[in-house]
Amino acid sequence: MSVVEKTKDWLRIFRAQTAPAVLILVLTPYLVAGGKLFSWYALLLAVWSIFTHHISFGHNTVMDTIMGWDLKDKNKLHHPLIKKRITEKTALKVIGVGIFISFLIAIFLVYISSGNSFYAMSFFCLFLVGGMVYNNGISKITVWDFIPISIGFTALSLYSYFLVATEFGEFIILIALYIFLTEWFEIGIEGEIKEIEIRDESNMLRILGTKCDGKTYSMGKSIIYPWLLKLAALGIVGYMLYKFTFNWLTLSLFIVGGALALFFCYELTKKRQWDRKKSLRDMALEEVISIFLLPIILLPIIGSLEVFIIIVISIIYFVGMNAFLWNTRLAPKV
């Protein structure tokens, strides 16, 4: 196997295409707290966030394979661990070392920071625990799997915030709530839709009444659940815009972004012929819009140039990595 193909396989295990989500999750609160994007510290933080994404998502991939869940999913039979192009033992070693390195760098970032060290490390530990709980089987055996992972990634955003900030305020609490609801929607709705055909896995949507026979898809009364989540998240963004960052540009961007998020929520929840590939594309677009919406409405605080750079780099990375790893434009083959 060539070096390029081996690199692709490792990046597929790491689910590298979604790294911009964690990058934005980390950099946005850091900048809101007063951090500077054009600094060596921000560059180190950005590189660390991508590395931490790769290790945490890779851990999920490895554990799902070892526990046999991915072996039952016909949509993942082409993955490198299942095809034995990389062994589970080798992957575990790499992930274990990676977790250790990520933790050491997280400590170093706190040590050289000016924020609240106690809060920062406390939230990073919460991120680690939430991720470990989710990755070690909870994601498949309980309908409440969205709780530890949503708490974990919300805690990661608070970690980066307290690298600079020293105390809580209403603004960061609202940001944290939006991130929590966005992660909840991603795991508790989109993740469940993606795996709705796998009967062995616990699935909240199926319990609430969603039906999929491989040909048709209908949410029934469970459609209330995703819409309440999405409307609550947009309500929090709208309140932040009203109270903290209102101007005509942010209002216009909020209206456009909010409308698109609702459109793809509709596409994912409407009664339809089952098309998993199209659903994956809709999920990718909905996630991108929801993630970008946060820094966009924070333009007056973060800075227009900073937001522009983060979003452009994220889009180029996301599209490029999907093309490189999966030969697709948006949705990975997962």
Per residue in 42-99, pLDDT (tens digit) is 999 999 999 999 999 999 999 999 998 888 888 888 899 998 999 999 999 999 999 9
The average pLDDT across 225-234 equals 97
Closest CA to 193 of 132, 291, 282, 74: 282
**Residues 128 and 153: beta-carbon distance below 8 Å:** no
Residue 334 has pLDDT above 90, yes or no: no
Return the pLDDT at 186: 96
User: pLDDT category, 333, cuts 50, 70, 90?
Assistant: low
Residue 116 has pLDDT above 90, yes or no: yes
Summary mean pLDDT of the chain: 94
Using CA atoms, how far apart are residues 136 and 331, in angstroms rounded to an integer?
25
Residue 331 has pLDDT above 80, yes or no: no
Among residues of the chain, what percentage have pLDDT more than 70? 99
Residue 2 has pLDDT above 90, yes or no: no
Return the pLDDT at 15: 95
pTM over 0.85: yes
Q: Calculate the dihedral angle through the C-alpha atoms of 65, 67, 73, 75, rounding to the nearest 10 degrees.
A: -10
Using CA atoms, how far apart are residues 154 and 148, in angstroms rounded to an integer?
10
Q: Could you read off the pLDDT of 245-298 as tens digits, one per residue?
A: 989 999 999 999 999 999 999 999 999 999 999 999 999 999 999 999 999 999
User: pLDDT category, 237, cuts 50, 70, 90?
Assistant: very high
Task: Return the ∠ at Cα 138 (arms to 194 and 140), rounded to 5°.
Answer: 35
Residue 39 has pLDDT above 70, yes or no: yes
Using CA atoms, how far apart are residues 87 and 234, in angstroms rounded to an integer?
43
Structural tokens at position 325: 């790893």
Domain ranges of the chain: 3-326
The average pLDDT across 127-135 equals 96
